């Protein structure tokens, strides 16, 4: 075993894990917010997330075709793309809620879950239909902005690219903004009130349906932002590429204590780091007997362990589990 190598790549793996973790955290917010309010797993969130990535790529390609991609200052382009992706995903989330979930709100709990899964598959193929008509393509590539690809080589084994900084910065900004909205504004308080007790909230004059829509809007927008950052960081999307990250992010949300916003962030980071370290080190530590492909097993095993000892997730204290 090459100890020097093991130590040498550590900071880089840490960075990889943090980026992945923030990505998961951003996606997990959508699951966790909806869960907090409706106690229901919005399976379609993975497609809401990838929809943001698609809108983002369309905006970028649009800018490119009119020659503005390099003409405008890159932070402006980024903000533009983020806003577009967030708006689109947010609206999609609201529409999905309106069409597929609200009519089922009184139904037994698992019925909307199946509806959500149905919507998830439906959206995958719908995105594919539209994209194949519009671009005649299956995989879409994020046009790169040269600035984002700049790298700073800190040592032989460690380097940091501008886009990874952008991803971390963007994610932190989003999380901070969400924190402000939820904890410092009236609607944010209303969201938390609705999450706790819908009937009592409606007795305060809160329009519960509107707050639920708003929750979907915000959760969806976070997903859209994650989608854009995902595209910027990893470069390639197709209509089905949201599903697995969505599943992982959902896991992260549960890990942190579902329904709990800081929990989603912690869960995302834990899962991201776990995956990164497992993928990088398993093979090195076992001499190739177990490789990177075991990262999911490790992640899920640790998830199971954590839940055994903390059945409500890492930060799940405040979430009440109905007996």
Residue with tokens 């970028």: 60
Closest separation between CB of residue 59 and another protein, Å?
A: 19
**DSSP per residue, 85-101:** HHHHHHHHHHHHIIIII
179 Cβ contact partners less than 8 Å away, ≥ 6 residues apart: 261
Closest separation between CB of residue 262 and another protein, Å?
A: 13
Q: Is 143 helix (H, G, I), strand (E, B) or coil?
A: coil
Closest separation between CB of residue 158 and another protein, Å?
A: 9
Among 62, 65, 70, 139, the residue binding another protein under the rule CB under 8 A is 139
8 A C-beta contact, residue 221 and residue 86: yes
Closest separation between CB of residue 111 and another protein, Å?
A: 6
Taking CB under 8 A as the criterion, which residues in 217-236 touch another protein? 230, 233-236
Question: How far, in Å, CA of 124 to CA of 306, rounded?
Answer: 32
151 near another protein, rule: CB under 8 A: yes
95 near another protein, rule: CB under 8 A: no
8 A C-beta contact, residue 229 and residue 47: no
Toward another protein, which CB reaches closer, 79 or 293?
293
Closest separation between CB of residue 38 and another protein, Å?
A: 9
The DSSP secondary-structure symbol of 131 reads H
Q: In the chain, at which residue ranges do the beta strands (DSSP E only) sit?
A: 140-141, 151-153, 159-161, 236-237
Closest separation between CB of residue 264 and another protein, Å?
A: 13
Q: Is the alpha carbon torsion for 244, 247, 220, 186 positive or negative?
A: negative
Applying CB under 8 A, which part among 79-87, 99-107, 169-177, 216-224 lies near another protein? 99-107
220 Cβ contact partners less than 8 Å away, ≥ 6 residues apart: 30, 45, 48, 89, 90, 91, 92, 93, 94
Taking CB under 8 A as the criterion, which residues in 294-323 touch another protein? 294-297, 299-301, 303-304, 307-308, 311-313, 318, 320-323
Q: Tokens standing for 208?
A: 């519960």
8 A C-beta contact, residue 222 and residue 277: no
Closest C-alpha among 33, 34, 48 to residue 124: 48
Among 62, 75, 103, 169, the residue binding another protein under the rule CB under 8 A is 103
Taking CB under 8 A as the criterion, which residues in 167-196 touch another protein? 186, 189-190, 192-193, 196
288 near another protein, rule: CB under 8 A: yes
Among 109, 172, 176, 180, the residue binding another protein under the rule CB under 8 A is 109
CB atoms within 10 A of CB 245: 21
Toward another protein, which CB reaches closer, 82 or 96?
96
Closest separation between CB of residue 71 and another protein, Å?
A: 21
Toward another protein, which CB reaches closer, 6 or 87?
6
Toward another protein, which CB reaches closer, 87 or 284?
284
Among 1, 71, 133, 146, the residue binding another protein under the rule CB under 8 A is 133
- Whole-number Cα distances in Å, 80 to 19, 64, 72, 149, 175: 21, 13, 11, 19, 18
Taking CB under 8 A as the criterion, which residues in 29-48 touch another protein? 35, 39, 41
Taking CB under 8 A as the criterion, which residues in 65-84 touch another protein? none
Closest separation between CB of residue 256 and another protein, Å?
A: 12
Toward another protein, which CB reaches closer, 87 or 143?
143
- Whole-number Cα distances in Å, 144 to 5, 50, 56: 32, 18, 12
């Amino acid at each position: 075993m090459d100890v020097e190598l093991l130590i040498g790549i550590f900071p880089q793996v840490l960075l990889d894990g943090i980026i992945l973790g923030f990505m998961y955290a951003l996606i997990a917010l959508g699951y966790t917010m909806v869960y907090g309010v409706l106690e229901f797993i919005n399976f379609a969130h993975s497609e809401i997330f990838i929809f943001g990535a698609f809108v983002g790529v369309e905006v970028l390609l649009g800018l490119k075709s009119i020659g503005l991609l390099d003409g405008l200052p890159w932070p402006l382009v980024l903000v533009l793309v983020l806003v577009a992706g967030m708006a689109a995903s947010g609206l999609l989330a609201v529409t999905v809620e309106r069409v597929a979930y609200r009519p089922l709100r009184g139904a037994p709990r698992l019925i909307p879950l199946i509806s959500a899964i149905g919507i998830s598959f439906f959206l995958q193929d719908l995105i594919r239909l539209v994209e194949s008509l519009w671009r005649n393509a299956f995989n879409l590539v994020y046009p790169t902005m040269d600035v984002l690809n700049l790298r700073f080589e800190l040592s032989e084994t460690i380097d940091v690219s501008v886009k990874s900084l952008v991803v971390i910065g963007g994610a932190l900004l989003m999380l901070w903004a969400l924190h402000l909205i939820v904890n410092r504004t009236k609607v944010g308080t209303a969201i938390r009130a609705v999450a706790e007790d819908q009937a009592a909230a409606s007795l305060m004059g809160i329009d519960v349906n509107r707050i639920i829509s708003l929750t979907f809007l915000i959760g969806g927008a976070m997903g859209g932002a994650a989608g854009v950052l995902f595209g910027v960081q990893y470069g390639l999307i197709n209509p089905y590429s949201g599903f697995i990250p969505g599943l992982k992010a959902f896991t992260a949300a549960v890990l942190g204590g579902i329904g709990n916003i800081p929990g989603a962030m912690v869960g995302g980071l834990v899962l991201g780091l776990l995956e990164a370290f497992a993928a990088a080190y398993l093979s090195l530590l076992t001499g190739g007997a177990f490789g990177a492909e075991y990262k999911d097993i490790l992640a899920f095993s640790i998830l199971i362990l954590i839940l055994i000892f903390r059945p409500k997730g890492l930060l799940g204290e405040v979430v009440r589990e109905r007996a």
